Amino acid sequence: MRGERRPPRRPATRAWIVAAVLAIPALALISGCGAEDESRPKQVAAVIGLDFTPNAVHAPVYAAIREGHDRKHGVKLRIRPPGSAPDSLKLLTSGKADLAVLDIHDLGLARERGADVVGVAALVQRPLAAIIAQPDIRRPRDLEGRRVGVSGLPSDPALLRAVVEDDGGDYAKVRQTTIGFAAVPSLIEKKIDAVPAFWNAEGVALRQRGVPTREFRVDDFGAPRYPEVVLFATRATVERRREMVKSVLQALKDGTESVLGDPEPAIREIARAGGADEKLVRAQLRAVSPALRPPLKLDPVALERWADFDARYGILERRPDVRRAFVFDLLD
């Protein structure tokens, strides 16, 4: 989740996932992009691929490098930002990244299509999605008969249904229209009455522009508290380069503490890396900071509830096996 939506936000199409999955067997034949050098065991190269334009959620990754936490833990981190079509799964399966950032729903979709990838850490500890509505929508069930813009991603209708039904509304009466990734302008121009979006990104951007809205966060209406954004790797990488992965996580944990303790350097760096306004980044980081604690922790109970939720609302076709989808013993 993350920064303000720009097309494409996270291309979770079945074709994209299938294409990436087909690349995974080749990884068994090649070493990762940060292959460990036995003659220099104190500094191992590792590449982290981003899922989206650099934004506040990525601040701990940048801080780990800026503050030297990576070198302290014996790794030399490099960030691989997304291209014109952000695709962190493709970066991982092509060997261009050792670890990468991904939305948890997309991790589930990738595994459902056969990708042997696993979550190794949580960058945030709660969902970032919300239904953001015009101010006259006082509660989710008021969306009956109203027009809601959806992006076309499979998670949008599922999250909308969860929020409306949890408030006692009839989801079937909500009028949905596909608007792509134009959430902010569509709300400003009042073309729609509500939209599934990210409260830490679009929600903050709308407030910064002085646009009055109401915000219904999904974990206040029907969804459990699950980590929206995770760090993941191929299972082969975790098995063969376990110490590297552990060192990266320790560096990112320290990076998170640095961001929370002194956010201004992170704000300047993220604004520069993402081409964003510092004032906006500051507001977005302030909004998401509470969700960064405890740093990187994977909570098995929360993830079991996420698995139930995604299967119940049709984001995934079948309930994922959490113990196979995540590795819980990498962070001290």
Say which residue, 107 or 83, is predicted with more confidence. Answer: 107
What average pLDDT does the chain have? 89
Does residue 76 surpass a pLDDT of 60?
yes
CATH architecture assignment, domain 14-126+226-325 = 3-Layer(aba) Sandwich (3.40)
Q: What is the pLDDT of residues 177-214, one digit of tens each?
A: 999 988 999 999 999 999 999 999 999 999 999 999 99
Question: In the chain, where does the domain assigned CATH 3.40.190.10 lie?
Answer: 14-126+226-325, 129-220
pLDDT-based confidence at 8, cuts 50/70/90?
A: very low
Beta bridge partners of 47: 78
Q: What is the mean pLDDT of residues 255-266?
A: 98
pLDDT-based confidence at 2, cuts 50/70/90?
A: low
Q: What is the pLDDT of residue 86?
A: 63
Q: What is the pLDDT of residue 87?
A: 84
Instruction: Tally the C-alpha atoms within 13 A of residue 101's C-alpha that lie toward its C-beta.
Output: 29
Q: What is the pLDDT of residue 31?
A: 44
Q: What is the pLDDT of residue 202?
A: 94
Tokens (6 digits) for 175: 């009028």
Q: What is the mean pLDDT of residues 118-137?
A: 98
Q: What is the pLDDT of residue 235?
A: 97
The CATH number of the domain covering residues in 129-220: 3.40.190.10
Q: What is the mean pLDDT of residues 140-144?
A: 98
pLDDT-based confidence at 278, cuts 50/70/90?
A: very high
CA 163/CA 166 separation, integer angstroms: 5
Give the SS3 label for residue 86: coil
List the one residue out of 258, 249, 226 whose CA is nearest residue 104.
Answer: 226
CA 312/CA 286 separation, integer angstroms: 32
Q: What is the mean pLDDT of residues 102-106?
A: 95
pLDDT-based confidence at 32, cuts 50/70/90?
A: very low
List the Cα angle 49/307/59 in 5-degree steps.
30
Q: What is the mean pLDDT of residues 252-264?
A: 98
